[in-house]
Structure 1
Amino acid sequence: MPLEEFRWADFFRHRLPPPATDGDFELRVRKAVKLARSRAALGLPSYIGAPD
């Protein structure tokens, strides 16, 4: 099984385009946090689920 970081990276790579600017990077981080808490991430290592 791949390392946890690689599984998460692959998850994000397929769902978020690479950022073109610093501002774009910050937007991608916010979207990534939402994705990480979504049901789409269910089954990934250390998934904690949606916020209450």
Structure 2
Amino acid sequence: MVETYLSFISDVGFPIVVTFYLLYRIEAKLDGVIDSIQRLPQQLFEQLKQTE
């Protein structure tokens, strides 16, 4: 596995590998943001019902 990464780094260069790593990390955070946005209308509706 490590040999694969080292080979990839030597083939495409360090900046590209760092970019892929950062995109991978951001993807998980974006999934959380998307879930929160999708739940927002229901949460707002429930909150409005409680204030009535």
Give the TM-score, by structure 1 length: 0.35
Higher relative contact order (CA 8 A, sep 6+): 1
Higher helix residue share = 2
Give the TM-score, by structure 2 length: 0.35
